[in-house]
Amino acid sequence: MPVDNQPYPHLRFLSRVTGRAKLPGGGKTSEQTLKNKADRAGHSAAMSGAASGALSDWKKQQEARERQGLPTLATGVPLLLQIDPSLDLGKLTQHLGFEIVAEQEQGFVIVASDDTDLALLMRRINEFVAAVQGSAVVARVYQIFSESGHERLQRICPGLLEIWPTIQDDRNYIVDAGVESAGPTKIPNRPSEPERRDNDSDVQRAKREAQYQEKLAAWADQRLAVYLAWEALKERRQAEVAKFVASYDGEVLKIYEAAAADSLSDSFTMRVSISGRGLKDFVQNYPFLFEVVEPDDIALPQQEPGLAEEERTQLELGPPDEDAPAVGIIDSGIQEGHLWLAPAVDQESSFSLLPGDSSVADMVSPSGHGTRVAGAVLFGETIPREGQHKLLCWIQNARVLGAGCNMPERLFPALATRAAILRLRGGSRATRLFNHSVNASAPSRLVHMSAWAAEIDALSHQHDVLVIQSAGNIPSTGAAPKTGIAQHLAADRRYPDYLDEPSSRVANPAQSLQALTVGSVGYESFHAGDWQSFVLQRGGPSSFSRSGPGIWGVIKPEVVEFGGDLVYSTGGSVSIGTPTLASACFPELIRSTLSSGPAIDRDTVGTSFAAPKVTHIAAQLASLLPDEPSLVYRALIVQSARWPTWALALFLDYRREKEKNQKLRDKASAAKTKAKKKGKVASPQSIDYALQQTLAAQVSAVMSRIGFGIPDRERATHNSAHRTTLITSGVQSLQAGDCDILQVPVPAAVRAAGNDFDVLVEVTLSYAASPRRTRRTPKRYLSVWLDWITNRRGESISDFEARATKESDQSQNVLGGVVDEDANGEKAKSRKDDGIAWTLGAQDGHGSIRGVARGNGTVQKDWAVLKLHQLPETFCIAVRAHKGWSQDPDAQARYALAVSFEVLGQEVAIYEEVKIALDDLSVEVSEV
């Protein structure tokens, strides 16, 4: 089994830390800069002429492009500067308005300007003559070169420039293009701490501290907004490039980002296939381009030969290790001899459950279904085309669907699923992971759990298996209750609102409490000709992806992955489909070639192909943690999930509006109290809640459509210096009435008052218990049900233990807006000040998001952002077991728990500190 050699492995209660770098500054002023300052008029004239010439060239180029009907490019004037090498590049942004695209050797810098008249630059040049403050940076800019000149191209694409005259307009070329994505936005300076004055009164100190805290909170919001802006800019530019490439009938083959030392990468690279005409246009005119290179093993020019025999010599796929995890593919069969799959297929385990049909081949026309799923399990988002690769896991083929991608009536779904899982679970590889991209065509029922879903719940509890289940697809067209997208549009139910309709609910058996249900999100916004994607931003819910909540208000789907998006015609009658020109909207998948066609393509969409990308992460976890129960894998996958940028921005807007209204309420309440003391009547203050309510509804809808968000492989499998994840190890179980209290020491160095930085605290409980279909609520559907609570800020272990282990069945704790009830049912005093403001809360109304609660499902995730100094000395979490349907006192629920701490700005490293503290705690416990 692979051995984890990462520096930050999962701990059995774990943490991570790193410091901030000090950047050198200062230095001697260069001779050229001194000369420029000595000759302000001459240097200004030279700079003005160069800038005017570059701007004139760029405008002529744009006019020519417009006459030729060329596609629209991102707004911005691309330039090459030669500057004083010692100049802080931030000065170019601050004083001249340039966005830094890339720094080159010998003081050359590729920049772009949103100011299409270069007005700020020209003003600074004129001010430099008069020595106006802020214009001195002009002396340190030595030369300005035209955007399409040889000098800029020489630094962007020196290899390509060598064959520039031979590039043919109508031939396709494959290149790797580097695009800058950090933008000009930067994190503002942190507010200075208030000055301490000896003669200040306590009231003055308190007032000064309150003002400081208010500024600090505003700064924290600004910083978060910058992070969101960086991510949004990256996604926008990826969409821009993809759209530009598509306009030349090209294709984006791959997108990848360089490993970043900080929380966000400042660039991305796209491997694109594009015509020679489009390539020239792109290189000369796209302002944020800093590199265009030929792939190392590909000669230019070339044609796209498809997947010919010669490609087999470029790719070497090695079989998984013998003890690697196995994944059962319960689907339509697999093309087991496929070049990309064959080394990983465990052919001895293959079987068909179709009556009278023993074939295990994927006969779904035209390109298979199970074959595509198997490829996504093995490779996730990126399918290798060259080099040597060891495959991740074994693939086992359980065929349950016929050539029409349906299940014969004689094959009862629940029994077929049971037979497939038990056969592979009891086989030589003791399979625990199963991909089940099979759904009914109608939305799931809400009264009782279906037999199919209940069977998955029972198997998960009894046999320690994890079923990764697709959410199901809304058909393009169809009549109620299977209402199609076209019918929603015809009824003026627009995207994404129709995703909330009852007919769009997750399809059976995706409502299963134990299955990890996966919905789909799209890659990008697309518009070409009469075709338009539904998705408006990367990570938006796919137009076909079924939504939650599931049965009994359970969060479904729990996570989403990239399954693509349909596109629709904008002219004439509505047509919905997957036309070739919109291939960038579709996932790249392995195809069955039994009916001809390419072995890999982007030609279809579906939650069926989002689910196996999550299974891919589960297989990596099983490889990394082979001895842990599958409940740990489910917990870590959900723990790693985050909302995409657009959803986080929406939540931030909602939180700000909510906080603003809270301040207004507090102010009105204070005024009322003051007036009452004086025997007066306070003037009523009107508070408009309309925007808050609208945003609250939108945030709640996000939760229904994408659950906890998109899982991240790195977060699920490893930690970092700034992020630490603690997990339970081995099988944990509780009987009704029992309680486990787990603790995480938070070292004093981490909690130091000066560490006023944001820390994201995430908790995910994953558990399983015996189901009973005749019951109608999760607390009665399961034999034993679990929940969790944590200690409050400043609450000691002994106090928390006393609170968490009360004998009374009526005791209840609600964190966020914390309310306790004593044995008599009387409400105790609210403790909002010292409780943790969880995003969801144990019950609806207790968290920030209304209409959603973490406690209904068997995956209970919640998260909150605190300041490091607000963390308790020991973070305690209690997992409590409650009586469900079972009267058996020995009935148990099995569980796994994951707790993460992440310093969002990466200002403070915490992993090693927590690890040492855990080791010390372990010694203390062993000596007791």
pLDDT in tens, 569-587: 877 778 898 998 899 999 9
Average pLDDT (411-421) is 87
Q: Is the pLDDT of residue 685 over 80?
A: no
pLDDT of residue 94: 82
pLDDT tier for residue 336 given thresholds of 50, 70 and 90: very high
Where does the pLDDT of residue 852 fall: very low under 50, low under 70, confident under 90, or very high at 90 and above? confident
- Of 103, 112, 148, the closest CA to residue 237 belongs to 112
Instruction: Provide the β-strand partners of residue 395.
Output: 327, 345
CB of 748 closer than 8 Å to CB of 916? no
Q: State whether residue 45 is helix, strand or coil.
A: helix
Query: What confidence category does residue 521 fall into, taking pLDDT thresholds of 50, 70 and 90?
Result: very high
Q: Distance (Å, rounded) from C-alpha 485 to C-alpha 496? A: 10
Residue 598 burial (CB count, 10 A): 11
Give the dihedral of Cα atoms 551, 555, 561, 567; nearest 10 deg: 60
More confident residue, 601 or 820: 601
- Across the strands, what pairs with 2? none
Calculate ∠ Cα 384-10-903, nearest 5°. Answer: 95
Q: How far apart are CA 576 and CA 489, in angstroms?
A: 11
Residue 438: partners with Cβ closer than 8 Å, 6 or more residues away: 330, 331, 400, 401, 407, 413, 470
Q: Where are the beta strands (DSSP E) in 68-150?
A: 77-83, 98-103, 108-113, 141-145
Dist. CA 67–CA 49, nearest whole Å: 27
Q: Is the C-alpha dihedral spanning 436, 442, 448, 452 positive or negative?
A: negative
Res 473 pLDDT > 70? yes
The pLDDT score that the predictor gives to residue 897 is 95
Which of 786, 780, 743, 741 minimizes the C-alpha distance to 767?
A: 786
Contact (Cβ atoms closer than 8 angstroms) between residue 311 and residue 385: yes
Residue-level pLDDT at 1 = 42
Task: Tell me the pLDDT band of 155, cut-offs 50, 70 and 90.
Answer: confident
Residue 672's pLDDT band (cuts 50, 70, 90) = confident
Arithmetic mean of pLDDT over the chain = 83
Give yes or no for residue 3 having a pLDDT over 50. Answer: no
Q: Could you tell me how far CA 417 lies from the centroid of its own chain?
A: 31
| Cβ(27)–Cβ(86) below 8 Å | yes
**CA-to-CA distance for 369 and 402, rounded, in angstroms?**
10
pLDDT at 73 over 50: yes
Distances (CA, A) of 657 to 229, 298, 687, 818, 879: 19, 53, 11, 22, 34
Q: Tell me what the mean pLDDT of segment 242-269 comes to.
A: 67
pLDDT: which is higher, 472 or 448: 472
What integer pLDDT is reported at residue 684 of this predicted model? 67
Contact of 841 with 854, CB cutoff 8 Å = yes
Question: 899: left (phi > 0), else alpha (psi -120 to 50), else beta?
Answer: beta
List, for residues 734-764, the tens digit of each pLDDT value.
Answer: 988 889 888 888 888 888 867 789 999 999 9
Q: 800 vs 143, 289, 817, 896, CA distance in Å?
A: 67, 56, 17, 21
Report residue 819 CA to chain centroid gap.
33
Using the Cα atoms of residue 768, residue 860, residue 649 and residue 10 in order, give the sign of their dihedral. negative
Give the pLDDT score at 926: 53
For 2-16, give the secondary structure using H, E and C: CCCCCCCCCECCCCC
Burial (CB count within 10 angstroms: exposed 0-12, middle 13-18, buried 19+), residue 613: buried
